[in-house]
Chain A
Amino acid sequence: MAVYPLKPARKPPLKERGLIAWLRKNLLSSPFNIALTIFGVAILYMIIPPFIKWAFIDANFVGNSKADCTGDGACWVFIKEKLNMFIFGFYPQDILWRPKVVMLGLVALLIFAKFVKGFNKLKLFLIVIYPIIGYILLHGGYFGLEVVETSKWGGLLLTLIIASVGIVLSFPIGVILALGRQSKLPIIRSLSIFYIELIRGVPLITVLFMASVVLPLFFPQGVDFDKLARALIGISLFEAAYVAENIRSGFQAIPKGQYEAADSLGLTYWQKMGLIILPQAIRVTIPNLVGTFISLFKDTSLVMIIGLFDLLSMVNVAANDRDWLGMETEGYVFVAFIFWIFTFGMSLYSKYLEKKLDINKKG
C-alpha cells in the first residue's frame, strides 16, 4: 500500500512563459513561419512609416485654402474646409441646425435607451416615433419649416439614413422570410425560397437600378416617387434576403428539443417562434447579422450610381472643386477612416452583445 501526498501547483518552466516563448511559439515556430514573419515585417516596414510621414509629419492642418498646403504630405485643410459638405451634402448651409439636431437627438436617444434603466414604454415610443420626428425636421414642410427636398440630403447624413433605415426595415422582413422558409405550408415556403434565392443571385446595383427605373412604372403616371425612398425600399428588400439567411442558420443551431418543449407546454406557433426560437436564433447569429449589416453599411455608397450623394460621392464632388483639385487621396483616406470608425464600432458592439447574451453563460 502507498499513500501519495497532494502536490502544490507550480508555474510552468521559464521557456514556456513570457514574451520570448510567445514569439517562439507564434512567429518563429518553423522555417516557413520564420519566412512569413520576415515577409510580414518587411511589408509593414514599407507601408507604415511612409504613411505616418504623409498623414502626420509632413501634413498640413492649418489654413483655409489649397495655398496653405505645402504639398509634401496630406492636406487636411481640404477636409476641414469641406467638412460640412461631407457630413450634410447639399443641405442648405443656413439651416444646418436641423440635421444637427436630428443627429444629436439620435445619439441622445441611444444613450438614454442604453444607459438609463426602466422607462421601457417611453423608450419604445421614442424609438418608434423618432424616425417621424427626424423626417419632419429634415424634410420640413410642417410647422413653418422650409422644405428641403431629399435630393439635397447627402454626405454622411445620407449614408447614415440609408444604413439605419435599411437595417431597421430589413430586419423584420428578413425574420418573416426566414420564418416563411421554415413554414410547413408549401406555398409560403416556396415563395420565400424563391425570393431569397432570387435576390441573393443578383447584385445590389441591379436591385438599385430596378428600384429607381422599374419601380416607378408600377405607379400611375405623374406620381413622382421620391428617389431616396426608392433606394431605401430597394436596399431593404435586398438586405432582407441576407438577414433571412443569417437567421435561418440561427434556426438550424436550435436543438429539436426546444421546439418540442415549447409544443409540449402548449405554446402556439407564434408564441413558440417569438418567445423561444427567434430569441435564441438571433443570439447565435449576431456575429453574422452584424457582418451583414456592416456590408450593408458599406454598400450604401452604391446609391451614387442612381444619383444620390452619399459620403463617398460628396468627396468626389468636393475633389472636383476647381480650388481644390488633386485632393482625392485625402478625401478617400478620410472616407475610409469614417467608414472604418462606424464598422469597427459595430463590430465591437456585436462582440459586447455576444458576451452579454451568451446563452451558455456559467458561474
Chain B
Amino acid sequence: MSNIIEMKGVNKWYGDFHVLKDINLDVKKGEIVVVAGPSGSGKSTLIRCINRLEEHQEGIIRVKGIEVNSDIKNLRQIRSNVAMVFQHFNLFPHLSVLENLILAPIWVYKKPKKEAIETAMYYLNKVNIADQANKYPNQLSGGQQQRVAIARALCKNPDIMLFDEPTSALDPEMIKEVLDVMINLAQEGKTMVVVTHEMGFAKKVANRVIFMDEGQIVEENDPQNFFHNPQSDRLKLFLKQILNH
C-alpha cells in the first residue's frame, strides 16, 4: 500500500458529457505528478475528484487507503489529509492573512490558538511573506496571495497537496516567486499532484508527467521522455503548441 492515491476505472459525467473516461492513476508517497493537457481536457475535474470537490460516478478512488465516497466520515478524514491550492487563490477576503491560516488548524484540527498562530507564522516565513500577516488578502499582489494560499494549505500539514494551475492567474513577474515555493516543497518530499502549464517546473521536479486529452490519460512518462520522446501524435502537437507560444 505504498500508493497514497489510487484511482481505478474512474468515470464521470456532467449530464451527458463524459468528462473523465476510465482514469487509472496511482501516486506514490512523496511523488510529484504533473498533469498537463489542453483546456477542457478534464485536468481540474480529475484532481478535484481526489478531494471530492467533484463526485465521480464510476470506479474507485482511495486516498491513504480510504475510499472517496459519500461517507461523511471518510470525506472528513480525506480532506484533513489533502490540501488544495486553486488558480484564483480563493483566500477568504473578510479574514486577515493570519486568520486565513489558523482557520483549519483551530476548527478542523482543534489546535489551541497559540499553537495555530506559531505554525502559521512558521509557514508564512517559509513562503517569505511573514511581514504581511495582518493584512487582508485584497491588499496583496497576486503572487503574494498565492503564496498565502500555499501557506494556508501547509498549515493543515497535509500528506498530499493538490495544485490546480496555481500560476495561470498571475502576472509573469510573479510566477517565479510561486514556483520557487512549490519547488522547495517538492524537494522536501511532499506528495504533490500539480495541474500546470509550467513545463519548466515539470522538467525540474516532476517524477512523472501525465498528458490528458478529452477526458482520458493519453500518455504518461518521466519528464525526460515526456518532453523529448513523446509517443502519441496528440502529445507531440500539444508540446509543439506550448513550446512555441
Stretch binding the partner chain, chosen from B31-39, B87-95, B205-213, B222-230: B87-95
Majority secondary structure of chain A interface residues (helix, strand, loop or mixed): helix
Residues of chain A within 8 A of B104, CB atoms compared: 265-267
**Interface presence of B150 (CB below 8 A):** no
Within the complex, the shortest CB–CB distance from A362 to chain B, in Å, comes to 6
Stretch binding the partner chain, chosen from A29-37, A100-108, A273-281: A273-281
Within the complex, the shortest CB–CB distance from B108 to chain A, in Å, comes to 4
Contact of A261 among B90, B94, B138 (CB under 8 A): B90
Complex: A263 Cα to B51 Cα, angstroms: 9
Residues of chain A within 8 A of B201, CB atoms compared: none
A264-B83, A265-B79 are contacts. A360–B93 as well, Cβ < 8 Å?
Answer: yes
Residues of chain B within 8 A of A359, CB atoms compared: 93-94, 136, 138
**Interface presence of A17 (CB below 8 A):** no
8 Å CB interface, B42-60 against A: 51, 53
**Interface presence of B76 (CB below 8 A):** yes
Contact of A257 among B80, B88, B139 (CB under 8 A): B88
- Whether B107 and A275, one on each chain, are in contact in the complex, defined by CB atoms closer than 8 angstroms, is yes
Within the complex, the shortest CB–CB distance from A276 to chain B, in Å, comes to 6
- Whether A361 and B53, one on each chain, are in contact in the complex, defined by CB atoms closer than 8 angstroms, is no
**Interface presence of B68 (CB below 8 A):** no
**Interface presence of A26 (CB below 8 A):** no
Complex: A266 Cα to B52 Cα, angstroms: 11
A264-B51, A265-B79 are contacts. A363–B107 as well, Cβ < 8 Å?
Answer: no
Complex: A359 Cα to B76 Cα, angstroms: 29
Contact of B103 among A265, A280, A361 (CB under 8 A): A265
**Interface presence of B192 (CB below 8 A):** no
Complex: A255 Cα to B91 Cα, angstroms: 11
Number of interface residues of B (CB under 8 A): 24
**Interface presence of B123 (CB below 8 A):** no
**Interface presence of B84 (CB below 8 A):** yes
Complex: A361 Cα to B139 Cα, angstroms: 7
**Interface presence of A260 (CB below 8 A):** yes
- Whether A362 and B88, one on each chain, are in contact in the complex, defined by CB atoms closer than 8 angstroms, is no
**Interface presence of A283 (CB below 8 A):** yes
Residues of chain B within 8 A of A360, CB atoms compared: 93, 138
- Whether A271 and B82, one on each chain, are in contact in the complex, defined by CB atoms closer than 8 angstroms, is no
Within the complex, the shortest CB–CB distance from A10 to chain B, in Å, comes to 31
Within the complex, the shortest CB–CB distance from A37 to chain B, in Å, comes to 40
A279-B94, A360-B138, A361-B136 are contacts. A263–B53 as well, Cβ < 8 Å?
Answer: yes
Complex: A280 Cα to B93 Cα, angstroms: 8
Complex: A85 Cα to B136 Cα, angstroms: 51
- Whether B92 and A261, one on each chain, are in contact in the complex, defined by CB atoms closer than 8 angstroms, is yes
Binary flags per residue of A3-40, CB closer than 8 Å to B gives 1, else 0: 00000000000000000000000000000000000000
Within the complex, the shortest CB–CB distance from B40 to chain A, in Å, comes to 18
8 Å CB interface, A239-277 against B: 255, 257-258, 260-268, 271, 275-276
- Whether A276 and B90, one on each chain, are in contact in the complex, defined by CB atoms closer than 8 angstroms, is no
- CB-nearest residue of chain B relative to A269? B72
- Whether A257 and B76, one on each chain, are in contact in the complex, defined by CB atoms closer than 8 angstroms, is no
- Whether A267 and B108, one on each chain, are in contact in the complex, defined by CB atoms closer than 8 angstroms, is yes
- Whether B93 and A261, one on each chain, are in contact in the complex, defined by CB atoms closer than 8 angstroms, is no
Residues of chain A within 8 A of B53, CB atoms compared: 260, 263-264
Residues of chain B within 8 A of A363, CB atoms compared: 139
Most chain B CB within 10 A, of A258, A260, A264, is at: A264
- CB-nearest residue of chain B relative to A260? B53
Given contacts A264-B79, A271-B107, A283-B94, 16 further A-B contacts (CB under 8 A): A257-B88, A261-B86, A261-B91, A262-B92, A264-B51, A265-B79, A265-B103, A265-B108, A265-B152, A266-B76, A267-B103, A268-B76, A280-B94, A359-B136, A359-B138, A362-B139
Give me the interface of A with B, judged by CB distance under 8 Å.
255, 257-258, 260-268, 271, 275-276, 279-280, 283, 357, 359-363
7 pairs across A/B with beta carbons < 8 Å? A264-B83, A265-B108, A266-B79, A268-B76, A275-B107, A280-B94, A359-B94
